[in-house]
Amino acid sequence: MALPASAVRAFEPPPQPERGAPARTTCPRRHSRVEAELAASRPGSVAASVRAGPPRGVSHGFHSRPLLEKPRKASSSLAGAACAPLFALLSRGRRRRMHVLRRRWDLGSLCRALLTRGLAALGHSLKHVLGAIFSKIFGPLASVGNMDEKSNKLLLALVTLFLFAVIVLQYVCPGTECQLLRLQAFSSPVPDPYRSEDESSARFVPRYNFTRSDLLRKVDFDIKGDVLIVFLHIQKTGGTTFRRHLVRNIQLEQPCECRVGQKKCTCHRPGKRETWLFSRFSTGWSCGLHADWTELTSCVPSVVDGKRASRLRPSRNFHYITILRDPVSRYLSEWRHVQRGATWKASLHVCDGRPPTSEELPSCYTGDDWSGCPLKEFMDCPYNLANNRQVRMLSDLTLVGCYNLSVMPEKQRNKVLLESAKSNLKHMAFFGLTEFQRKTQYLFEKTFNMNFISPFTQYNTTRASSVEINEEIQKRIEGLNFLDMELYSYAKDLFLQRYQFMRQKDHQEARRKRQEQRRFLKGRLLQTHFLSQGQGQSQNLNQNQSQNPNPNANQNLTQNLTQNLVQNLTQSSSQKENRESPKQNPGKEQNDSTSNGTNDYIGSVEKWR
């Protein structure tokens, strides 16, 4: 078998050195260097071309032999000479695949080397930058304390750890949601969860003087009894959201049954087929669309009790509730609602047993609706019921002749309506404000002793807030609703005073419970101490009985121990009473019996439980 030419050349003897070349020295490195210099000095030789490099403008490339390979040693050249015949025996396709694999391995090693060197350069640059920063910040300290290299490294490590912790914290808690990222969390106390939703101060200066009975609203609401909650819904005050909370978001023994696609829900009392809530989502508009105070007070009893005679009707308590809103925002919201086609034509406006005539209550538009009306036209209508709507719906219209404006002068009529609305609002079981959703939830829960499942949400962006008006239009709206403006100011003052009063009452109740718990724990500790003393004395008594068989002596010893225990209990109870009330009963003598003091204490403990 004939070998290839490359294999034959591999087995040939090595070439002899040229004539005139120096003999090989004992040092192989020096000999190779001398040979290389001689070869490079000859013009036109291969070594000279390799050393000179490629022509100008041509690079070696990533896989060129001068860039990637180092000068081979003798052992590597011999290994290559031995492997060359074997490589030549392979087929052409396999040799090509092995060559491609070798090129890929060289490219991967080159990428790894570049990445390693890049990271090292980046770390070196970062070290210099941090060193410059620390030299600027801690330069005086280094000059004073003569900080050594170890302290600088330790400080650099600490700062690097801090930066790493900040980056990790940003990933774990992004944005301003995390309280640790806010400076207020380190400087101010824990914020009040019932802080004012409009970001104003929780404390305010009251303008009106209300009595304790006006501020304390505690309704004895028994859902199993005959008490009924009546919701007075004023247009565009957020009443729909609040009524939805009443039927879907309240914890009840028997929750309301709400079917999909239906607005009305069945809210029955436990074990009865009778409703406890009179509102749109439970009974519908039984007294007319958005019935006011005058209509509800005359309609609700007859609707609830049906056709039964008045003497056969149970003595019910009707607890009226409502929601108020800022007059300007409510007015703009109603205008936008009318623009979309709302008319409220189904409202009855029944007063004194009859609806108003067309002369008493004219219409502001001639078509089917008032859709698309501009704000100026909406404000120019003198018969628009949107003007002072909240006062009109909360007052007793029978006091002013219902909708007949000729009964009394306008000024007197406005005064009577405003006073009636304030009185009815103050004596209502509950009212809330749209601008204070969380406080509204809190006061309702405290008033009726009923809890909601999820907290209320404050929506600061509404359709009314999207309307941009100038100062002139705002003043005109306030002038058209001057009665509502005064009523809202009164209601807001009463609402916030009730809120503060109930919060203080809760704090006092919590403080009283903590004090009772401390007394109970102290009493248990004293009781345990006295019992341990009694057990120790009884053990001594048993030992004395075993040693002294005289029964008279044992009886005397038992009496002495009992008297000592009685004196200890009496002294402790008298000292406690003197500390708590030293000046309440100055002429009363302390009780010397143990049973009375112990029974009183146990009775107080059982009462606390």
String of DSSP letters for 80-141: HHHHHHHHHHS-HHHHHHHHHHHHHHHHHHHHHHHHHHHHHHHHHHHHHHHHHHHHHHSHHH
CA separation for the pair 368, 342 (Å, rounded): 10
Q: How far is CA 405 from the centre of its chain?
A: 52
For 27, residues 6+ apart whose C-beta sits below 8 A from its C-beta are none
CA separation for the pair 404, 408 (Å, rounded): 9
Pure H helices in 178-326: 184-187, 212-215, 239-248, 280-283, 293-305
Count the Cβ atoms, other than its own, within 10 Å of residue 591. Answer: 14
236-243, long-range: CB < 8 A, 24+ apart: 236/325, 236/330, 236/333, 236/334, 236/337, 237/322, 237/323, 237/324, 237/325, 237/330, 237/390, 237/434, 238/323, 238/325, 238/434, 239/322, 239/323, 240/280, 242/323, 242/432, 242/440, 243/279, 243/280, 243/281
CA separation for the pair 312, 290 (Å, rounded): 29
CA separation for the pair 212, 117 (Å, rounded): 80
- What's the burial of 586, exposed, middle or buried (CB within 10 Å: 0-12/13-18/19+)? exposed
Contact 247, 277 (CB under 8 A): yes
Based on its alpha-carbon atoms, the radius of gyration of the chain, rounded to whole angstroms, reads 48
Catalytic residue chosen out of the listed positions 290, 337, 349, 507: 290
Nearest alpha-carbon partner for 328 in 462, 491, 475, 460: 475
String of DSSP letters for 436-496: -HHHHHHHHHHHHT--BSS--------TTTT----HHHHHHHHHHTHHHHHHHHHHHHHHH
Structure tokens, 154? 């330790």
Structure tokens, 156? 């650099």
- What's the burial of 558, exposed, middle or buried (CB within 10 Å: 0-12/13-18/19+)? middle
Contact 39, 47 (CB under 8 A): yes
CA separation for the pair 353, 373 (Å, rounded): 33
DSSP reduced 3-state for 268: strand
Contact 421, 395 (CB under 8 A): yes
* Alpha-carbon distances of 84 from 13, 29, 76, 106, 548, rounded to whole Å: 15, 25, 12, 20, 116
Q: How far is CA 591 from the centre of its chain?
A: 56
The reply to whether 290 belongs to the active site is yes
CA separation for the pair 187, 171 (Å, rounded): 24
CA separation for the pair 136, 475 (Å, rounded): 59
Active-site residue set = 290
